[in-house]
Amino acid sequence: MAKARLLDLTRLVSRLGRGPQTGVDRVEFAYLSHLLTLDQPLFGLVRTPLGFLLLDRSGMAGLRSLVLGETALGRADLLGRLSHRTDPRRAKADAAIRRLAIARTPRPLLTRVLRRYLPEGSSYLNTGHANLTDRCLTAIRKAGLKVTVLVHDTIPLDAPHYCRPDTIPDFRRKMEAVAHQADLVIHTTHATRARTEAQFAGLGRTPAGIVANLGVPVPEATPQPSDTPYFVTLGTIEPRKNHALLLDVWDHLPAPKPALHVIGSRGWNNAAVFARLDALPPAAGIIERHGLTDAEVAPLIAGATALLFPSHAEGFGLPPIEAAALGTRVISSDLPVIRELLGDNAVYLDPTDV
């Protein structure tokens, strides 16, 4: 029996129906889409409050259709309504995946189910940071699978002041599990690998690693027509992304000001920036945009004078790559990861200097 791949899809399922994909969502979806094109036996693993679901290739293709909106989620089943009483969207998502699954198992029996369906020597691939616990990874290894994890970054450990305090202990536990259990870690850049492996060394073990840059599909985008120059910034509105700097810059610009399109949803721990956005007068030139689809974002970026990316820390940085691929200038913080990816194809500035 040919060795198989087992792709963790818990993150994608948890995000079904929640609007535009985040960067991590995009990566998990890209791996799903690519693996579906290969001939190797393929399975998907999804954790729910009631245990784990196992998908075969057909079920994974069904999930991809759900993500793309080609298939509706459908109605929640009784199990979904009972396990997600306050979240009807997640109840529908879990019910949809149960309908696609070839097997269900409570968490203590995960090893047994994996042994039944996947041959010894198969591999488990985790790109979404879900299920990174000693208990889960031990069960997978006991089934005879090799464990490969894509670690996007270790910003919660490197720069915890940019993260929600309640998320840091859980993230540390995840990285401890990866350090002790993973056979291979995928890093998206050499700069990120150096920071991640420094954290692993402090956790007692540094797994073997490889660097694999993320792919960025380039959409065909006709620049949005505009009579005046405008700029864009793209990303969740959170402290690490440094929107406060751009608000300060726009305060200093003389009239008539160019427009700044702030594309992204509001995040956390950023009340001062939210208040400033809410109080902006029309003449400020700043337009907050959220809930836009990829098809709506691409023309905005393509027609912009530049994409502004004043982030304090990044593991990869998809927006600057996407903008450069569309032929739009990039003005970015001087971060090692962006320099590695864009080289001279960007203007680098100090993210603390208005």
DSSP 204: T
Q: How many CB atoms lie within 10 A of CB 283?
A: 9
Helix (H) or strand (E) segment spanning residue 324: helix 318-325
- The β-bridge relationship of strands 51-55 and 42-48 is antiparallel
User: Are the C-beta atoms of 107 and 138 separated by less than 8 Å?
Assistant: no
Q: Tens digits of per-residue pLDDT, 205-217?
A: 999 999 999 988 8
Residue 217: predicted pLDDT: 81
Residue 18: predicted pLDDT: 78
- The residue type of 345 is N
Label residue 1 by pLDDT band (50, 70, 90).
low
How far is Cα 290 from Cα 266, in angstroms, rounded to an integer?
8
How far is Cα 252 from Cα 284, in angstroms, rounded to an integer?
10
User: Are the C-beta atoms of 156 and 171 separated by less than 8 Å?
Assistant: yes
User: Are the C-beta atoms of 52 and 107 separated by less than 8 Å?
Assistant: yes
- The β-bridge relationship of strands 103-105 and 123-126 is unpaired
Label residue 294 by pLDDT band (50, 70, 90).
confident
Radius of gyration of the chain (CA): 22
Which distant-in-sequence residues (6+ apart) come within 8 Å of 254 by Cβ?
none
DSSP string, 153-201: --HHHH-GGGS-GGGHHHHHHHHHHHHHH-SEEEESSHHHHHHHHHHHH
How far is Cα 146 from Cα 149, in angstroms, rounded to an integer?
10
Residue 115 has pLDDT above 70, yes or no: yes
- The β-bridge relationship of strands 103-105 and 51-55 is antiparallel
How far is Cα 158 from Cα 202, in angstroms, rounded to an integer?
12
Residue 247 has pLDDT above 90, yes or no: yes
Tokens of 47: 């954790």
User: Are the C-beta atoms of 210 and 197 separated by less than 8 Å?
Assistant: no
Q: Tens digits of per-residue pLDDT, 133-179?
A: 999 999 999 999 999 999 999 999 999 999 888 999 999 999 999 99
Which residue from 99, 101, 117 is spatially nearest to 6, judged by alpha carbons?
Answer: 117
Residue 82: predicted pLDDT: 81
Dihedral of the alpha carbons of 328, 231, 227, 281, in degrees to the nearest 10: 170
Q: Tens digits of per-residue pLDDT, 63-77?
A: 999 999 899 888 888
DSSP string, 96-134: HHHHH-SEEE-GGGHHHHHHHHS-TT-EEEE-S-TT-SH
- The residue type of 315 is G
Q: What domains lie within the chain, and their CATH numbers?
A: 5-211 (3.40.50), 230-349 (3.40.50.2000)
CA distances from 29 to 9, 66, 106, 192, 214 (A): 9, 11, 25, 21, 12
Residue 317 has pLDDT above 80, yes or no: yes
